[in-house]
Structure 1
Amino acid sequence: MTDQQTEPPLRVGIIPVTPLEQNCTLLWCTKTMRGALCDVGGDLDKVRAVVAKVGVTIEKLLVTHGHMDHCGVTGIYARELGVPIEGPHEDDQFWLDRLQESGRQYNMPAENFVPDRWLKDGDTVTVGEVTLDVIHCPGHTPGHVVFHYPLGHLAIVGDVLFQGSIGRTDFPRGNHQQLIDSITQKLWPLGNDVTFVPGHGPNSTFGRERQTNGFVSDYALS
């Protein structure tokens, strides 16, 4: 008879939202059942239903960057729940200031907001009793941040990196070389065994992308 497997300190669920199938991530501390949502871009009815089903008490909303599909309804949901917003880095303020305008353009609900806490490189955020490291990874947007959970070998990377691809850099203040540097100098050193949740599409690992990604594999950059 084997011992029952112990519950990990942090659990993660992915909720695809908006017509762009953006990965909204629910993170919760299994000890306290207190959690956070990262990148609430839309489809609040769907998000509410998942939170209720899991039975998590949301204590904050996290944001990787200021694009509408990642945070269009974050301000609305934060006000509804009475919880603070943390992130992104303040270099993305110009994106947050145009959310409502972008929403009208794409016929999606969106509202401008100012986070309760801007994040910078080296900061930490808490989810229940779990601590995540904040890594500033500009390139896709100037204020993009990544959330890293070292104990669980997990990272939430927004639109910095995808399975087989990288973030676009043709938006205002995007920078291709900066994005490559963010990936190779800030993400790769975290370890090949880190599983990452991208802003769109399936999860992967940094090791797999270093082997196979046509944009940032070791071979592609050699």
Structure 2
Amino acid sequence: MLQVKIVPVTAFQQNCSILWDSESKEAVLIDAGGDANRLKQEVQALGVTVKELWLTHGHLDHAGAVGQLAREWSIPVIGPHKEDQFWLDMIQEVSARYGFPVPEPVLVNQWLSGGEILKLGDEEFQVRFAPGHTPGHVMFYNEKNNILWTGDVLFKGSIGRTDFPRGDHAQLIESIQRECFNLPDETQFVSGHGPISTIGYEKQFNPFVAGKAG
């Protein structure tokens, strides 16, 4: 059975998700954005073994601990889309600019383009390509449990910023309509920051996208 623990990391309180299969105890981390030692402690306390690191996009608060954890655990980095390569290439420079600890480089083992199926135990996760916040942003959807990991595409009551390099507001709205609002209203989603919400709630109440379901 799929288990999830959300661990906010960095000064930006980015939601790193630890996902694991209760039978095999295999785990993945989605967006290990920083505080590597804390994440290692959480994983140890859960008694799970992390087999992969999944990335929604290349911003420092989502990828900051990935290089170190991938090296120490000798595991692959999966995602995001290759269009976010430039963000990962800049992660050390951007981290220094924000006063964050300078992270180890992030080396992606498998780029994603959308439509792939990632597996954890018996669980399957559909990769959804959702550019706009960044050009290479992806999301992960588990149909069995009806949970979507949106990264910084969609938040409770808000949407991702598009004032960063190669951000595109119109593209982001299109991604939300195509990749989020076509899911059942009761779909829960874990965003990169803030509380869990549902697709139906955002369709009705999110001031940026309410009434814009495709």
Class of the TM-score when normalised by the shorter of the 2 chains: over 0.9
Q: Give distance in 1, aligned partners of 2:71 and 2:107.
A: 12
Is residue 211 from structure 1 mapped to residue 204 from structure 2 by the alignment? yes
Deviations 1:66-96, CA, capped at 9 Å, x for gaps? 0000001201110000100000000000000
Q: Secondary structure at the match of 1:189?
A: coil
- Correspondence for 1:135: 128
Alignment RMSD, CA only? 1.3
Unaligned runs of 5+ in 2: none
One-letter amino acid matched to 1:112: P
TM-score, normalising length: structure 2: 0.96
Give deviations 1:89-148, integer Å, cap 9, x for gaps.
000000000001112112223232221000111011112332100000000000000000
Tell me which residue corresponds to 1:57.
49
- Aligned residue-pair number: 213
Structure 1 residues without counterparts, runs of 5 or longer: 1-8
- Tell whether the 8 Å contact from 1:196 to 1:203 is kept in structure 2 after alignment: yes
Tell me which residue corresponds to 2:95.
Answer: 103
Q: Deviations over 1:143-186 (max 9, x none)?
A: 00000000000011100000000000000010001000100111
Contact 2:129 2:139 in 1 (8 A): yes
Q: 1:21 aligns with which of 5, 13, 22?
A: 13
- The structure with the larger Rg is 1
The verdict on how the C-alpha distance between 1:221 and 1:152 changes in structure 2, with shifts beyond 3 A counting, is closer
TM-score, scaled to structure 1: 0.93
State which of 114, 120, 128 in structure 1 corresponds to 2:113: 120
Q: Secondary structure of the residue that 1:96 maps to in structure 2?
A: helix
Q: 1:182 maps to which residue?
A: 175
Structure 2 Cα separation of the partners of residues 112 and 83 of structure 1: 14
**Is the aligned partner of 1:197 residue 2:190?**
yes
1:40 is aligned, of 32, 37, 50, to 32
- In the alignment, is the contact (CA less than 8 A) between 1:139 and 1:182 conserved in 2? yes
Whether the 8 Å CA contact 2:55–2:77 is kept in 1: the answer is yes
Name the CA distance, whole Å, in 2 between partners of 1:127 and 1:80: 20
